[in-house]
Structure 1
Amino acid sequence: MSRSAARGFTLIELLIALVLTGLIMMLLFGGLRLSTRSWDSSERYQQQVSEQALLQQRLRDWISQALSRRVRGPNGEVLSTFWGDRDELIFMAPGRDSGPSGALYWYRLYQREEQGRSMLMLAIRLFDQEEAVDWNRLFAVDEVGVEGADIQIDEYPLMSLGDGQLEMQYWEQPDQLPVVRSDWIDQPRLPRLVEVRVTESESPPVKGYWPPLAIVLEEYNHAVRQR
């Protein structure tokens, strides 16, 4: 056998082969890591979209069942059981498991600041027809029970708004020209529609996940069907 036929790799050739192999492995690993991150990001986005869709459906179920009843105010004035501001909504509606003669509840949808971030909150308490209604104190913990009633207030965080802002609008009923209002205070009847928005934000999870939510009140629909 000749000496040239038995010749193997030199040390330099072996080092070059190892370096090239290492570079190829780095490229493959980088591509795999990028694909994994993209997959995880896509899964998180889909999960957030699903959670937002579920939350919007729950808000639609709660707000659409708002009822118009007459209650007395702190000075004896007659009020409707629906009060809405730009960033807060209070209304009366049946409980989730209430039947035709079941209990009624007050609901409050609002925004609360916690550690520099905004949270979309829901508060619920039992409705009492005989209670004088002061909108500023209806859900104040230190005011609960001032008339001797043992009333429990339950609060639920619904979603982090990041640095977004909760905004609501109220549409007049259709016996007038359509008018959009930024509040619904001291009105004798329910609005035709409530629109819930979250302003755009540069930080997740709000941006791109919350389309405007328009909610038609069922009591209005029932009145239309009875005509």
Structure 2
Amino acid sequence: MGWTLSLATSGRALPAMAAGQTTGRHPDGLPGHRQGILAACGRHPPDQTEQRAPETDKTNGNTGLMISYLTLPEAASAAHKTRHNEAGFTLLEIMVAMVVLTMIISTAFGALRLAERSWEAGLKHAGETERLRTVSAVLQRSFSQILALSWSENTKTHIAFSGDQKQLRFIAPAPQHHGATGLFEYTLVVAPHAGSNRLMLYYRLHDPDHIGFAADGSDRQQVLLVDELKTASFAYYGSPVTGDPAQWHAQWNTDAEAFPRLVHMRIVSPPEQGQWPDLFLALHTELSK
């Protein structure tokens, strides 16, 4: 509901309105209540170059001035919008924006951390694969070069190979990285260390004048093949006695009549390191007494 106030004069024309004041009709032909909206919002229409003459009331010939106002609810709403625009963001809006920003940052850091873990896992897997390849290559080379040597003691012949579930011994040429010539005695052993186990390879120069393997001593050199093992074991496939069917054995002694055909090495690592595949190492010896 609008309110309209009419001011009339008796036969006298009202003076022209000053620039920026409201009349019954806007200088641009807009209704007067549009100017009321501008006034309620604290804005004023631009200055006009010419003024329109007041309209004449055709019923009684008097010149009248029509002033229109907005309804009270419309004026209150316009004023509220003006104050809201001037006040900026509310506390609730700021809190919502902070929550959204926090979620975005958390998601970004989570993605970065996931990428970092994937990269670390890839490097670890690559390192374990390279270590497995290296150890397997060293053992395959060493076992393929085992020499079918033997010696006699008290009318008994002994082969230059012995082993059980935790260690084995054999004679082969010098290690590839050593640079020396001659034959070396090797001992591959599962050794306890700091609550876990290690796969160690010991070697020393072989003395051809000595009968049997040399006693363990400080003169031998060592190579760490695998560290932090849960356990490891060896098994031997072949026929210790000539004519017997070949089968797997937990132990192979120097008094056997032949070398084993295969050596099975089983390595068990902690769960966080991943499992090693079983290694089957072939011996290229066919010695029988």
| TM class by smaller structure | 0.7 to 0.9
Q: Show structure 2 runs of 5+ residues with no match.
A: 1-37, 42-81
- Residue equivalent to 2:259: 190
CA positional deviation for 1:6: 4.7
- With normalisation by structure 2, the TM-score equals 0.62
- With normalisation by structure 1, the TM-score equals 0.78
Map of 1:137-152 to 2, 5 A cutoff?
A: 138-141=214-217, 152=219
CA positional deviation for 1:77: 4.2
CA positional deviation for 1:218: 2.5
Give the counterpart of 1:166 among 216, 232, 242.
Answer: 232
State the Cα deviation string for residues 167-225 of structure 1 (Å, max 9, x = none): 11111169653311111112132111111111x344443x42x11111111234xx9xx
Q: Show structure 1 runs of 5+ residues with no match.
A: 143-151
- Residue equivalent to 1:79: 158
Map of 1:130-141 to 2, 5 A cutoff?
A: 130-133=209-212, 138-141=214-217
State the Cα deviation string for residues 10-67 of structure 1 (Å, max 9, x = none): 2331232022101221122112212311221122022112211211111111112111
Distance (whole Å) between structure 2 residues aligned to residue 52 and residue 139 of structure 1: 30
RMSD of aligned Cα (Å): 2.6
Give the counterpart of 2:247 among 179, 198, 205.
Answer: 179
Kindly indicate whether residue 169 of structure 2 is the aligned counterpart of residue 53 of structure 1.
no
CA positional deviation for 1:97: 4.6
Distance (whole Å) between structure 2 residues aligned to residue 132 and residue 23 of structure 1: 76
After superposition, the Cα gap between the structure-2 partners of 1:204 and 1:76, relative to the gap in structure 1 and judged at 3 Å, is farther
| Contact 1:71–1:130 (Cα < 8 Å) also in 2 | no
Report the AA paired with residue 68 of structure 1.
A
Distance (whole Å) between structure 1 residues aligned to residue 228 and residue 260 of structure 2: 26
- Residue equivalent to 2:119: 39
After superposition, the Cα gap between the structure-2 partners of 1:158 and 1:139, relative to the gap in structure 1 and judged at 3 Å, is farther
Give secondary structure in 2 for the equivalent of 1:219: coil
Give secondary structure in 2 for the equivalent of 1:141: coil
Give secondary structure in 2 for the equivalent of 1:133: coil
Kindly indicate whether residue 192 of structure 2 is the aligned counterpart of residue 113 of structure 1.
yes
| Contact 1:111–1:120 (Cα < 8 Å) also in 2 | yes
- Residue equivalent to 2:15: none
After superposition, the Cα gap between the structure-2 partners of 1:97 and 1:121, relative to the gap in structure 1 and judged at 3 Å, is closer
Give the counterpart of 1:91 among 148, 163, 170.
Answer: 170
- Residue equivalent to 2:281: 215
State the Cα deviation string for residues 137-188 of structure 1 (Å, max 9, x = none): x34227xxxxxxxxx310121111432x221111116965331111111213
| Contact 1:71–1:129 (Cα < 8 Å) also in 2 | no
The number of aligned residues is: 201
Report the AA paired with residue 137 of structure 2.
Q
After superposition, the Cα gap between the structure-2 partners of 1:121 and 1:204, relative to the gap in structure 1 and judged at 3 Å, is farther
Q: Which has the higher contact order (CA 8 A, sep 6+)?
A: 1
Distance (whole Å) between structure 1 residues aligned to residue 176 and residue 99 of structure 2: 68
Distance (whole Å) between structure 2 residues aligned to residue 32 and residue 175 of structure 1: 65
